[in-house]
Structure 1
Amino acid sequence: MTVHLLPSTPGTVRWGDLPCAGDPSVLTVDPGDVVVVDTVSHEGILEDQGRDPLAFFTARGVPADAVLADAMEIARSVEHDPLRQGPHVVTGPVHVRGARPGDVLSVTVEELVLSADFGVVSNRHGRGALPGEFPRDGQDVVSVLARVETDPRTGARCGALPVAEGSAARVRFPLRPFLGLVGVGTPGPEHLHSVPPGMHGGNLDVSVLGVGSTLHLPVQVEGALFHTGDPHYAQGDGEVALTAFEAPLRARLRLDLVPEAAVRVRDVLWGETPEFLVPIGLDVDLDEAARRAVRTAVALLVDLGMDPAHALAYLSAAGDFAVSQVVDRVSGVHGLLRKADLADLTERPPA
């Protein structure tokens, strides 16, 4: 196992779209290798925020020396057209030796380190869960600065944002860092917009996939062309404003490869944590996204040895399904199935 460092620089990122077949890789690794990625948040560098993170953040009270150099360099040097591209800074692609269509790339999050003590939550252009209602007062974008603070009541680090512009009062909430965008390359020839998730993974925004989690992605092109971005410090299920607590992370990720012959449940998206199996459903229609998440959950349980009708009964009795996000054009629903409930099923979890 080799550990590789992958910084986010103008030469290692795409801004607003995703890698596809034929793109040159920025790094080549073997299955089982670890990649340490310095991810960059798009919030604070976008055109509607001035495309000048130094000016944007210092105007909100952030010291100039706390504004990250990689964000400033990407904003200054990387081409981006917000009319046809998404907002996300996407680091990669990484070529995984031996990966072929039909295999599964399993991405395990070994560590996430906060790279700053501030970030942004935005609502813009009538998007989010309440388009037409927010932003208010004719505004195009509302960007609220969030901070990492010490909770005076508990002494624990937490997220905090003001209750109103200029207010000293805060709402405080737990930090739950995760990577919102984790994906594999697509056949092309066009580069996909970075916002809608799909079977390639991408902008899934599944908040439970933090440290200790693994996301299993069906490989679509030679070399897998792994990529990541959209770092978060916290997100509520739904991500209703449009973005959540967006801020940069250093992510330590292990890239394992399951060969096609060993893949037991095909054409599904799912993840896992030490505690849960996490089936994922996606669709432009939220109801259909929920149905797809349930179908994936049934498939995982049947593979473990359950009868389909009994699997559905278990899901109704004890499975939890949550809205991952409703703001990415394609909505997401994910399930939480407790591994402890499945202790009598003797087979290993599916690949």
Structure 2
Amino acid sequence: MADYQGILQPGENLDGSAYLPADASTVGWGRLPRRGDAPVVTLDPGDEITIDTVSHEGLLPDQGQDPAAFFGAHGVPRERVLDDAIAIAATRTRRAEDGPHVVSGPIAVRGARPGDLLAITLLEATPRVDYGVISNRHGRGALAGEMPAGPHDVSVFTPISLEADGEWRGRLPLTEGGERAVSFPLAPFLGIMGVATDTAERAHSVPPGAHGGNVDIRHLTEGATLYVPVQVPDALAYVGDPHFAQGNGEVALTALEASLRVRVRFDLLDATDAAREFGTLAGPLAADATHLMPTGIDADLDEAMRACVRQAIALLGARYGMAPHLAYAYLSAATDFEISQVVDLVSGVHARIRRADFEEVL
């Protein structure tokens, strides 16, 4: 995470490289790109771009759809509320049945073809504000029906601050209005990264799938990559759902949601190279310098777990030539399977396969 220097309004403090703002012409709200959509920007494989992303928290109808008023009620002066968030809430329409997320794109990557893998790497993630929101809404979250305990949805305003250890952390009071607070480290990432679906209708922004989308894998921080099988020519990629921090599970419905300025690189693996590196992927694959993270996604958490195990076995076979029964044994002895999230209509599981374990076989 780059050093935080204060609020980042649209267009401010840029270095002159490619830049995608968040405005009415460059974002969708609640739906994802599909085949035939016109790109808002076109890149070559290997290109980098800076993108201003906008969190949906503070923009939604149950929060008044007026970010200046919503955050102002928490003591944030108007000049510290993002201009693009205010403009999107005021000018963009969103149907009640759509998802909540503000999504930047579509971004065309020249030459991408169905069967290829698009690699989306988060190079840098910088908070645009020094606060965020953690929400729990009725009928949502791991404890739907139990939480929220009262009649109203709950949106917890959460400031971030620089602690004595030099680390930026979020702070939550132990009791409503209390002075004692717990702090936790930030680890910014994008909850949504993916490619357009080969469908006539735009996919809902909440459930992830083979297209990527709202995968909410907290390990996709700076330096990490999400590989997604391309479905349509030029991929028509997108990003959104910026987070300051999230725990595995994201149990309350949202994590610490807040707007980020990100620098992203888009690379392309053709179908032959992709098969050699990773085998046939049924869905997204996350990766960083230390781990490979195959995924499983299903409405049933047990089925998501099974799908993730199958994908991990297939990955180990394709990449390292490992026999299925031995890969199964290795995964049982040496690999953690984590719940990505249980709140996005379908549940997600990801494995954490250590690259170092296989250094001697390459």
Please, what TM-score do these two structures have when normalized by structure 1? 0.95
Query: 2:360 is paired with a residue of what secondary structure?
Result: coil
Aligned alpha-carbon RMSD (Å): 1.2
Give the equivalent residue in structure 1 for 2:142. 129
Query: 1:85 is paired with a residue of what secondary structure?
Result: coil
Q: 2:315 aligns with which of 284, 300, 308?
A: 300
1:50 is matched by which residue type in structure 2?
A: G
- Kindly state the Cα deviation for residue 342 of structure 1 after the two structures are TM-superposed: 1.1
1:1-351 equivalences in 2 (<5 Å): 3-81=17-95, 83-139=96-152, 141-152=153-164, 154-264=165-275, 265-268=279-282, 269-303=284-318, 304-346=320-362
1:337 is matched by which residue type in structure 2?
A: I
Identity of aligned residues (%): 53
Query: 2:344 is paired with a residue of what secondary structure?
Result: coil
- Unpaired runs of 5+ in structure 2? 1-15
- Unpaired runs of 5+ in structure 1? 347-351
Deviations 1:152-206 (A, max 9, x none): 4x34221112222211221111111100000100112001110000000000000
- Kindly state the Cα deviation for residue 3 of structure 1 after the two structures are TM-superposed: 4.6
- CA distance, structure 1, for counterparts of residue 268 and residue 150 of structure 2: 50
- Counterpart contact for 2:185–2:245, Cα < 8 Å: yes
Query: 2:343 is paired with a residue of what secondary structure?
Result: coil
- CA distance, structure 1, for counterparts of residue 178 and residue 56 of structure 2: 26
- CA distance, structure 2, for counterparts of residue 316 and residue 188 of structure 1: 37
- Counterpart contact for 2:163–2:169, Cα < 8 Å: yes
- Counterpart contact for 2:342–2:348, Cα < 8 Å: yes
Runs of 4 or more off by more than 3 Å in structure 1?
Answer: none
- Kindly state the Cα deviation for residue 63 of structure 1 after the two structures are TM-superposed: 2.1
- Counterpart contact for 2:295–2:307, Cα < 8 Å: yes
- Counterpart contact for 2:33–2:236, Cα < 8 Å: yes
Query: 1:224 is paired with a residue of what secondary structure?
Result: coil
Query: 2:84 is paired with a residue of what secondary structure?
Result: helix
- Counterpart contact for 2:281–2:311, Cα < 8 Å: no
Please, what TM-score do these two structures have when normalized by structure 2? 0.93
- CA distance, structure 1, for counterparts of residue 18 and residue 286 of structure 2: 24
- CA distance, structure 2, for counterparts of residue 3 and residue 189 of structure 1: 34
- CA distance, structure 1, for counterparts of residue 159 and residue 241 of structure 2: 17
Judge which range, 156-165 or 254-263, deviates more: 156-165
- Kindly state the Cα deviation for residue 150 of structure 1 after the two structures are TM-superposed: 2.3
The count of residues paired between Structure 1 and Structure 2 equals: 342
- CA distance, structure 1, for counterparts of residue 273 and residue 119 of structure 2: 13
